[in-house]
Amino acid sequence: MKNSKKKIIFIGILAAVALIFVLMFVSSSSPGSNSSVAVLPSPSGALSDQKALLTGENVDIVRMLNLLRGVSFENVVLFDGEAFNSLIDFSVSLPTSEAGKSNPFSSK
């Protein structure tokens, strides 16, 4: 019983190590995988021939950049709306006062 229990534990640990190895090294370094390659569009909208290797957060940044490039403010009325006109100006006007000490480094 003890011998078979040790064998089962050993096989389980071996399977776990093999699974970790496969997940960490084999799947991320396979040459046919295009998951880490992104095509960057040129500013004119056409796809460029240059491909950049991007991983992790960089892919998310490129996706966000592509989403932001599609945002257009044409035909948007921002300053004529009721919400903008209802804003209150809380700015404080500063009183004019005499200047302090003159600049000793000036060329005058």
DSSP at 79: S
- As a dihedral over the C-alpha atoms of residue 52, residue 56, residue 57, residue 58, rounded to 10 degrees, the angle is 0
Does pLDDT of 28 surpass 70? no
Whether the predicted model's global pTM rises above the 0.85 cut: no
Quote the pLDDT of residue 107: 78
Amino acid at site 16: A
Of the candidates 26, 29, 47, 46, the one whose C-alpha atom is nearest the C-alpha of residue 38 is 47
Q: Which two tokens stand for residue 90?
A: 């809380």
pLDDT digits (tens, 9 = 90+) for 71-89: 887 777 777 888 888 999 9
